[in-house]
């Protein structure tokens, strides 16, 4: 007989996921290195994934884990594209400082 | 000094009994709103001190200690609240403490390689949390895909796109690195916004969490098996699986196209000159983009860019 995933446990996992999301958001806003900025966005993905799996376990459904698979696929696609763009930008100005590309703001 | 439970019940009337609790103890709210606000303010200031900037290393260390103490206080309050309701396992506290600590280090470390390695630690701790939620297959997939594939790509790009370090900037004398790693962009505002979000989420979860309807849940025994997950994926999300495949293919093609270099071969002396712009097909022929380092004699010289 497996242990029951209680309401209290759900709240704890949601708090952990929310904290990871907030920390990732702070990192995305403050860091100036493009690579670390995208690492922070991966942190936000992780927080969302924890919430999906927690709700899936609470309701006893597999849908939460299915959506985490799609989150992983999107994260992989985003990492590939973002890192290709970062390599391109580095070839242009020989820096990964996001402040060096300020003219993109228009 | 106001008793936190009284303050909480005065402000918010819902202190519902947790139905799934077998012992029937009424769940008292763990945190008064004032305490949540105070903890978030202290954590925000500590994060502001801890983020890279033109401060002394000692100040950053103090910020780290304050943030650690805030996290410990918050965890202790939660533990005290939970133990009267049956308690969470010690594995949960361990894994979540590692995950939160490593995420803070990801965003505060001044060296990108160390940030990536701390992110690997976060991935492992999250995989541990997944195992505690009976999602064993997802834990394995997370470690394989994140720590094995995505982070390797990140580390490769960090190595590829590393520049010469410019030495010390500002007062952080013993730290060596580029300027954009040693300085952060508007850390005060970002800490305020981030911890306002965190405080709102925590408060909402603790206040309204007991009202989430208790499901008529089946036994969670099969929740982690790859068999059940595969059945759910292919029976209920078949279109989504194909869409994910299309997205991955498009991303792969796009990444290859973006990161290619354009090569110019001068016809006289066959010298190769690389241009930094991404390769574009000549005369609508996609096979006309040579890859850097190769020289196909069948290719004609390229027109001016």
**pLDDT class of B88 with cuts at 50, 70, 90:** confident
Nearest CA in chain A to B104: A23
Q: What angle do CA B126, B132, B133 make, to 5 degrees?
A: 90
Look up residue B282 and give its DSSP letter: B
Nearest chain A CA: its distance from B216 CA (Å): 8
Phi, psi of A5, rounded to the nearest 5 degrees: -85, 100
Of A70, A68, A96, nearest in space to A82 by CA: A96
Say what the ipTM of the complex is: 0.93
Nearest chain A CA: its distance from B159 CA (Å): 11
The residue to which tokens 């690492």 are assigned: A39
Nearest-angstrom CA–CA distance, B195 and B104: 13
Sign of CA dihedral B223, B227, B228, B230: positive
A57 close contact with B: CB closer than 8 A: yes
In this complex, do B198 and A19 lie within 8 Å of one another by their Cβ atoms? Answer: yes
**B9: pLDDT strictly greater than 50:** no
Q: Yes or no: say if A50 and B214 are a contact pair by the CB < 8 Å rule.
A: no
Report the share of chain B in percent with pLDDT over 70.
68
Q: What is the model's pTM?
A: 0.80
Compare A60 and B175 and report the one with higher pLDDT: A60
Residue A56, C-beta contacts closer than 8 angstroms, at least 6 positions apart: A62, A63, A64, A65, B133, B135, B223
pLDDT for position B107: 92
**B67: pLDDT strictly greater than 80:** yes
Tokens of B109: 């470390």
Compare B278 and B254 and report the one with higher pLDDT: B254
Question: Strand B272-275 and strand B262-265: pairing?
Answer: antiparallel
pLDDT for position B18: 39
**B303: pLDDT strictly greater than 60:** no
Q: Yes or no: say if B88 and B132 are a contact pair by the CB < 8 Å rule.
A: no
Q: What is the mean pLDDT of residues B122-135?
A: 93
Q: What does the pLDDT look like over B11-32, one tens digit per residue? A: 333 333 333 444 444 455 667 7
**B173: pLDDT strictly greater than 80:** no
Nearest chain B CA: its distance from A105 CA (Å): 16
What average pLDDT does the structure give for chain B?
Answer: 77
Nearest chain A CA: its distance from B291 CA (Å): 15
Chain A residues with CB inside 8 Å of B146's CB?
Answer: 42, 72, 75
Strand blocks (E) in B13-59 = none
Interface of B with A in 4-63 (CB under 8 A): 18-21, 27, 47, 51-52
pLDDT for position B301: 52
pLDDT for position B4: 46
Compare B163 and B111 and report the one with higher pLDDT: B111
pLDDT for position B217: 65
**B305: pLDDT strictly greater than 70:** no
Nearest-angstrom CA–CA distance, B142 and A67: 13
Residue from A23, A28, A77 whose CB has the most chain B CBs within 10 Å, to mutate: A23
Residue from B76, B82, B133 whose CB has the most chain A CBs within 10 Å, to mutate: B133
Chain A residues with CB inside 8 Å of B232's CB?
Answer: 62-63, 65-66
Q: What does the pLDDT look like over B214-250, one tens digit per residue? A: 776 655 556 667 888 888 899 989 999 999 999 999 9
CA B247 to chain centroid? 21
**B104: pLDDT strictly greater than 70:** yes
- For B265, the enclosing helix (H) or strand (E) is strand B262-265
Q: What does the pLDDT look like over A64-93, one tens digit per residue? A: 899 999 999 999 999 999 999 998 888 878
């Amino acid at each position: 007989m497996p242990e029951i995933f209680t309401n209290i446990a759900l709240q704890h996992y949601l708090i952990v996921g929310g904290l990871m999301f907030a920390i990732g958001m702070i990192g995305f806003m403050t860091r100036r290195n493009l690579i670390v900025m995208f690492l922070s966005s991966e942190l936000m993905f992780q927080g969302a994934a924890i919430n999906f799996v927690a709700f899936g376990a609470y309701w006893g459904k597999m849908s939460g884990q299915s959506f985490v698979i799609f989150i992983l696929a999107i994260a992989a696609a985003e990492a590939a594209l973002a890192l290709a763009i970062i390599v391109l930008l580095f070839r242009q100005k020989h820096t990964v400082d996001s402040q060096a590309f300020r003219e993109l703001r228009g | 000094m106001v008793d936190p439970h009284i303050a909480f019940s005065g402000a918010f009337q819902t202190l519902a009994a947790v139905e799934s609790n077998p012992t029937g103890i009424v769940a008292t709210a763990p945190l008064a709103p004032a305490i949540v606000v105070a903890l978030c303010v202290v954590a925000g200031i500590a994060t502001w001190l801890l983020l890279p900037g033109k401060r002394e290393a000692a100040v950053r260390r103090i910020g780290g200690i304050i943030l650690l103490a805030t996290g410990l206080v918050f965890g202790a309050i939660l533990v005290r609240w939970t133990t009267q309701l049956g308690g969470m396992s010690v594995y949960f506290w361990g894994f979540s403490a590692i995950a939160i600590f490593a995420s803070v280090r990801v965003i505060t470390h001044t060296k990108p390689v160390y940030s990536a390695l701390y992110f690997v630690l976060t991935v492992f701790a999250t995989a541990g949390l997944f195992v505690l939620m009976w999602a064993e297959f997802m834990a394995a997939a997370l470690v394989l895909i994140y720590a094995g594939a995505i982070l390797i790509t990140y580390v490769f790009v960090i190595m590829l796109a590393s520049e010469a370090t410019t030495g010390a900037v500002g007062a952080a004398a013993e730290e060596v690195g580029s300027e954009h790693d040693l300085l952060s962009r508007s850390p005060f505002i970002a800490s305020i916004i981030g911890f306002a979000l965190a405080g709102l989420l925590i408060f909402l979860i603790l206040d309204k969490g007991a009202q989430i309807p208790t499901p008529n849940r089946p036994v969670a025994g099969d929740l982690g098996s790859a068999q059940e997950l595969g059945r759910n994926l292919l029976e209920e999300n078949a279109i989504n699986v194909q869409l994910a495949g299309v997205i991955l293919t498009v991303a792969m093609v796009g990444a290859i196209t973006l990161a290619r270099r354009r090569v110019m071969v001068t016809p006289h002396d066959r010298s190769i000159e690389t241009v930094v712009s991404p390769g574009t097909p000549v005369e609508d022929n996609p096979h006309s983009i040579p890859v850097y380092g190769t020289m196909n004699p069948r290719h004609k010289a390229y027109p001016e860019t």
